[in-house]
Structure formats: C-alpha cells, structure tokens
Amino acid sequence: MRKLVVIAIGGNSLIKDSEHHFVKDQYDAICETVKYIVDIIEDGYEVIITHGNGPQVGFIMRRAEIAEEVEHMHPVPLVNCDADTQGAIGYQIQQALQNEFFLRKIKRNAVSVVTQVEVSSNDVAFENPTKHIGVFYNEKQVKDLALLHPEWTLTRDANRGYRRVVASPKPLKIIEIDAIKALAEQGLIVIAVGGGGIPVIRNDKGILQGVNAVIDKDYASSMLATQLNADIFMISTGVKNVYVNFGSDNEKEIKNLNLREAKILREEGQFAKGSMLPKINAVIKYLENGGGKAIITNPENLKKAIDGEAGTQITYK
C-alpha cells in the first residue's frame, strides 16, 4: 500500500517578499511548489495538501474594509474571508497540479474541498488574539496604524516586523473528514483544510454557525494527518530547516529531532510564537497521536526531504 503524506504549504511561503505579493506572483510560487509535490507523487506516494492563508486573508479583509470605508459596501466578516481564501488558493493549487500532471502525462486529478472546522465558542483565543494575518509593518507604520485603526491589535512576528493578530481557536473537528477520505480513496489529490479550515461553532440546537477567527493551519493539518493515519506529515515553510538560536549570530540548523528533544527545545523558548512554535506544536501533537514521521523544510527541498536528504526530520524516538 502506498504511503500517505499530508503536506501543509505555508501561506507566507507563497509570497516571496514585499515586491511579490500579487495574485500572479502567488500563482507562480504555487506552480514552483507543485513541481516538487508532483515529484513526490511520481515516487509513488499518495498526497493530501493543506495550505495557510495568513497573508492572503489579511489582504482580503483589508480590501473589504477599504470598500466599506470608501464606497460604503457591505462589510465582509472574517469567516467569509477565510472561505474566500480557501476557494482562491485551492483553485490555484488545483489548477497548478492539473497542469503539471498534463505536462508529465500523469493520469491523476486534483480537487479542492471547502472545509469547515469546528471550534469551541468558549475558546480563550476569542479574548486573546494571537494569530498573525496580513503584511508585515515596521515601527513607524505601526504608529500610523494605531491612529488609523485603534481597534487593531498588532504584535511582533518573529524578527520580521509587526503584523495584525486575530483570534485563533484550537480545531476540534473536521466537518468534511468523510468526504476528504472518500475522495482520497478514489485516487484524487485532495486539497483540504485550507487556512486551517473555516471556523464554525455549534449553537444550542447543534446547528453550525461561522465564527470570526483564523485557525492555525499547522494545528488543523496535524489533526487531518492524524485522522487519515498519514505516514508522513510535512510542513513546507520559508526556511530549509528548523533552527536553534534563530536570527542570532550563533544560529544552528537542526537536521534530526525526536519527540523528547523537540519538547525540550520548546520549553527553552527556542521557537517563536508567530512562526516556528505552532509548527513544532503541530508536529508534537501528530507524533503523540501515533504519527510516523514529520518533516519541516522549504518548498524546493520537499523531494529531498522526503528522501531523508534535507529538512528537519522529526520522529517519535
């Protein structure tokens, strides 16, 4: 039986820098990433893809705010912006995969699943927003934004500047999990749980309702990998490896980690809250729930990493 790999593509890894955040730039980055994913598929692995939406949902949200401020258009809730990013990014990944299959004469197809993920209405995240979205700002811009948008919360994101933060509740249940399983069993390459999923809660009658938040895609992807019994959980991000002392003069890349070592480094504060920490937490959760192996690397090293030749390889023992 073919090994199953869940590959989580970071939203930031699809935007190379501040000069390349247009839709075409993102599609070009997706096409490049997809080539490495198809290399893995050609090697005989079954693949399910998830993706982030931090920068993209920030763009959509701000665009909606400007339309409301300038043209008095109707407001667009954050939860709908989440759904918009699932459709837009999922479409780009799906099309890029289909085109790459066509060029390589591979008889496979891809499909995107608009995925809801249940969260708790009592999650403390709604009172303490921590999820970074949108673009990076410098200190001068932050001062200006504080005057323009006093309702915003902005915090430092690793060593890259300041970003807006919103509520990020923990995922509890993937609503469309049965549909994802069925499609994968039919041999389709499934794109699911985009942006961590569209956050929903159940009311007193058990009816689903959207809620304004952004679920961390690494946590939701970890849950997906666990529920699908994935053999490998890969996180594609902006760096080749996990590092200790990241951003300092004595930073050092990590090639191999086990679960115990990962927990020790986490307790030492080696991983930034808005950057590597959620990835490490997601990997730890996956391994604790019986996962086989996790890998963290950048898009261009996905194929090498799955062959054990690049990235940070994280195992239970």
88-100 per-position pLDDT tens digit: 999 999 999 999 9
Least confident of 108-122, 220-234, 236-250: 236-250
Look up the CATH number of the domain holding residue 49: 3.40.1160.10
Which one is catalytic: 52, 90, 196, 279?
279
Number of domains in the chain: 1
Whether residue 52 lies inside any domain: the answer is yes
Which one is catalytic: 35, 217, 285, 293?
217
Whether residue 297 lies inside any domain: the answer is yes
Catalytic site residue 90? no
Q: What is the domain range of residue 258? A: 4-117+169-315
Whether residue 152 lies inside any domain: the answer is no
Catalytic site residue 12? yes
**Residue 224, token pair as written in the block:** 């997906």
Catalytic site residue 181? no
Q: Say yes or no to pLDDT of 20 above 70.
A: no
Per DSSP, the residues of the chain read -PPEEEEEE-TGGG--STT--SHHHHHHHHHHHHHHHHHHHHTT-EEEEEE--HHHHHHHHHHHHHHHHHH-PPP--HHHHHHHHHHHHHHHHHHHHHHHHHHHT----EEE---EEE--TT-GGGTS--EEEEEEE-HHHHHHHHHH-TT--EEE-TTS-EEEEE--PPP-EETTHHHHHHHHHTT-EEE-SGGG-EEEEE-TTS-EEE-S----HHHHHHHHHHHTT-SEEEEE-SSSSEEESTTSTT-EEE-EEEHHHHHHHHHTT-S-TTTTHHHHHHHHHHHHTT--EEEEE-GGGHHHHHTTSSSEEEE--
Whether residue 257 lies inside any domain: the answer is yes
Least confident of 10-14, 55-59, 153-157, 279-283: 10-14
Catalytic site residue 279? yes
pLDDT band at 226 (very low <50, low <70, confident <90, very high): very high
Q: Say yes or no to pLDDT of 167 above 80.
A: yes
Q: Residues 292, 232, 298, 288: is their CA dihedral positive or negative?
A: negative
**Rg (alpha carbons) of the chain, rounded to whole number:** 19
Whether residue 146 lies inside any domain: the answer is no
Going by C-beta distance under 8 Å and a sequence separation of 6 or more, which residues neighbour residue 242? 253, 254, 257, 271, 276, 279, 280, 296, 312
**Residue 236, token pair as written in the block:** 């594609």
pLDDT band at 10 (very low <50, low <70, confident <90, very high): confident
Q: Say yes or no to pLDDT of 253 above 90.
A: yes
Residue 79 Cα distances to 86, 90, 270, angstroms: 11, 16, 32
Q: What's the pLDDT score for residue 219? A: 97
Q: What's the pLDDT score for residue 153? A: 84
Which one is catalytic: 35, 52, 131, 303?
131
Whether residue 15 lies inside any domain: the answer is yes
Whether residue 135 lies inside any domain: the answer is no
Which one is catalytic: 10, 11, 194, 291?
11
Whether residue 209 lies inside any domain: the answer is yes
72-88 per-position pLDDT tens digit: 999 889 999 999 999 99
